[in-house]
Amino acid sequence: MSEYEKKVLEICNVSKKYGDFNALKDISFCINQGDIVGLLGHNGAGKSTLIKCVMGAIQSYTGDISYKGNNILTYREPFVKDVGILLEPAFVEYLSGEENLKLLAISMGKKYNQGKINELLEMVSLKKASKKKVSDYSFGMRQRLGLAQALLNDPKLLILDEPTVGLDPVGTELMKTTLKNMSQKGVAIMFSSHELQAVEDICNRIVVIQNGELIYDDSMDKLNSKEICIVTDNKPEDILCKFGEDVTVENCYVTIKDVKIIDEVISCIKENGLMIKDISTKNNMLFQFFKGGTSK
């Protein structure tokens, strides 16, 4: 497969202003087939605005967004056919979940397939509630219906805005499993979330937006270099100086940045008569990025 074929969504120099406020500043990145891209940032960082630009809900942006090489606003047919988007779980309140899905399926210009709708409702665990009005749904149920709506056209690109919000642990797990399965089938996925654990569990790439600017775009592996934290019974003093910057000591807490030297550090601690009370791993890099404390 060529690079061009792999590239599914390309966002080029996209900027959006609301009056004098720059909601997005020159954002550029692309999503490849099979990618699961986590879009991170504070509330108001510009994530939802970017997703609204991608779905075409916002058209007054500068720059270019293309799907498989075609601008999404001027050549919309392949985009509409292949893309599933969950922005906010927006449905017709007085209709049932099933009726909402039917109407969306009809609007796609196809004869709707009841089997497909049943399958999706089953998948998002809403089969029993499918005849209930959406106004009686909880937020989590709406989110799950939103996921079903996004999957209605068997998308090749899936874009989700905070899909885990309002979901219980079972719902979150269901969402993660669904996204992983879809990715394995070659579907490109981008989703924004505040659930760092979900991002860490399923994403292979992270894009961080801060104040409308893209500050990080790289693989998840680079962020996954975990630190090891050891708690000792007494302060190790200077015995760990020889490890240089790879080991930091703060009172009884020893942080090892390079996992390869862990055995050496443990031996050193024991040899000096100290007791190890606890060993744990921590990955605070993602949190640092989320806080926007690290620049590109």
> Which one among 14, 31, 85, 199 touches other proteins, defined by CB under 8 A?
85
Number of CB atoms found within 10 A of residue 62's CB: 11
Contact 232, 277 (CB under 8 A): yes
Number of CB atoms found within 10 A of residue 37's CB: 24
CB of 81 to other proteins, least distance (A): 9
* Nearer Cβ to other proteins (82/232): 82
104 binds other proteins (CB under 8 A): yes
43 binds other proteins (CB under 8 A): no
Distance CA 284, CA 193 (A): 16
Identify which range of 4-12, 56-64, 217-225, 253-261 contacts other proteins by CB under 8 A: 56-64
CB of 42 to other proteins, least distance (A): 19
114 binds other proteins (CB under 8 A): no
Dmax (CA) of the chain = 75
Distance CA 95, CA 105 (A): 14
262 binds other proteins (CB under 8 A): no
12 binds other proteins (CB under 8 A): no
> Which one among 29, 67, 91, 290 touches other proteins, defined by CB under 8 A?
91
74 binds other proteins (CB under 8 A): no
Identify which range of 83-91, 123-131, 137-145, 256-264 contacts other proteins by CB under 8 A: 83-91
* Nearer Cβ to other proteins (8/247): 8
Residue 243, amino acid: F
**Two tokens, residue 270:** 């024991």
165 binds other proteins (CB under 8 A): no
92 binds other proteins (CB under 8 A): yes
For residue 140, what are the contacts with CB-CB under 8 A and spacing of at least 6?
166, 167, 168, 171
> Which one among 6, 22, 25, 55 touches other proteins, defined by CB under 8 A?
55
* Nearer Cβ to other proteins (63/262): 63
107 binds other proteins (CB under 8 A): yes
Q: Which residues bind to other proteins, rule: CB under 8 A?
A: 52, 55-60, 76-77, 80, 83-85, 87-88, 90-92, 94-95, 99, 103-104, 106-109, 149, 152-153
